Amino acid sequence: MLKFTTDPKMETKKQKKKCPHCQRGVLAHRAPRPVLMKATLFWLPIKRYECNSCYKKTYIYGSVWEDVVVTDANNKGNAGKQVRQQNA
């Protein structure tokens, strides 16, 4: 059975999500939603963002922030490594 190990020295930080169209840019700027969407779906946490690289607009459900694992220099090679464990 393969299991991922988590190192207690690893930290997480928040950064903005990448653009789903170009995968290079960051969804940094809010774009205005159409009036019909504001009027009918005002109760949903749907927001419209614009990519700072390709300038395409996309809808995000929830928050644009995501958690990213940050490792220190000592554990850089061990981050995300798979460890094989055997059942005893």
Per-residue pLDDT of the chain (88 residues; tens, 9 = 90+): 445 555 566 677 777 888 888 988 888 888 888 899 889 988 888 889 899 889 899 888 888 777 777 776 554 444 444 444 444 3
| Pairwise CA distance, residues 4 & 85, whole Å | 10
The neighbour count for residue 59, using CB atoms within 10 Å, is: 11
Cβ atoms of 17 and 58 within 8 Å: the answer is no
Please tell me whether residue 83 adopts helix, strand or coil conformation.
strand
**Residue 52 in tokens:** 């700072």
| Pairwise CA distance, residues 41 & 30, whole Å | 17
